[in-house]
Chain A
Amino acid sequence: MPDDVDLRARATVANALKCSLDAVAADASVASLPQWDSIGHVNIVLEIEAEIGRPLAPEEIAGIASVADVALLYAGRKASA
């Protein structure tokens, strides 16, 4: 997994949605990325939990809607709701 949190977040989303890293821009979100569906969202949450080694808190789950939100979690800060 790359060190840079933005790149890690993009890699997580790309992996969960089974698409290429190039297809996932740093500003991609549920609104802009057509591959980001409900099953993909479940995979994203599970990938993040595997990556950070703990279940996400309810507020953290509620805050995920973009690659930037995932990057915030990796940076150790709460995603904005």
Chain B
Amino acid sequence: MGKPHPMLQRLETERFVLRPLGRVEAYRIGRSNWNHDQEIMRNLIHSAKPLDPWRWLKKMVWVNGKTKFSYAIVPRDGGEPIGIHGMTLQKHRSATLVVAIHDRAYWGKQVVAEIRRAIIDHAFEHGVIDRLCCTVNARNIASVFNYKKLGFRHVGTLHQAHYDPVSKELFDTLIFELLKSDWQKQRMAHA
């Protein structure tokens, strides 16, 4: 048996443990916490209403331990996961990221910046990727903040490229990128 993929390692930050999730647990946590959260459904699942189990199965990103990974975000003092962070590896040592914090008590507490810093560090240090490229609704300002906070660079805009299932309008999407070399420079500057 080969060595487990680096993104299947458990990670720790100051306030959280990042526990790798399997398919069944990712499905259970996602569906039980997100399906009735209108904001998460709108922005992440792109649905105006809850999904039945079959539609959810079709929509969800299937963790496979090779190219698709998910972490449960669990407070260090225990308790239930407060959210899930996902990474999908793509061609040419690139990856995309996605996150949902379903426990609103943790909103505005810089959770995403803290856990993403650990995940990005780990992925770059272990040679998993050399580049991250993520897209976000331009009016999802809290998410835009998280990319800016971590030093992602805005490299393009897709105008009227996506459909909002609630307002039924098209919206603009921002593309953010982070290269391993830029991340390392940032880390050196803050060391």
Distance A42 CA – B173 CA, assembled complex (angstroms): 17
Query: Do A38 and B108 touch (CB < 8 A)?
Result: yes
Does B107 touch A at the CB level, under 8 Å? Answer: yes
Given contacts A30-B149, A81-B153, contact A61 B110 (CB under 8 A): no
Residues of B within 8 A of A31 (CB): 149, 151
Whether A81 pairs with B154 at a CB distance below 8 angstroms is yes
How many B residues, CB 8 Å from partner?
25
Q: How far apart are the CA atoms of A62 and B175 in the complex, in Å?
A: 9
On A, residues with C-beta under 8 Å from B are 30-31, 37-42, 45, 58-59, 61-65, 81
State the main secondary structure of chain B at its contact with A. Answer: mixed
Most buried by B among A39, A41, A58: A58
Q: Max chain A CB contacts within 10 Å: which of B109, B142, B155?
A: B142
* Bound CA span A63–B174, Å: 11
What is the distance, in angstroms, from B64's C-beta to the closest C-beta of chain A?
A: 30
CA distance A29 to B88 in the complex (A): 30
Whether B149 pairs with A61 at a CB distance below 8 angstroms is: no
- A-B residue pair count with CB separations less than 8 angstroms: 58
Complex Cα distance, B65 from A65, in Å, reads: 35
In the complex the two chains form, is B112's CB within 8 Å of A58's CB? no
Q: Which residue in chain B gives the minimum CB-CB distance to A81?
A: B154
Q: List 18 A-B contacts (CB under 8 A).
A: A30-B149, A31-B149, A37-B108, A37-B109, A37-B110, A38-B112, A38-B143, A38-B145, A39-B142, A41-B144, A42-B142, A58-B138, A58-B174, A61-B174, A62-B138, A62-B154, A62-B157, A64-B148
Q: Does B141 contact A (CB under 8 A)?
A: yes
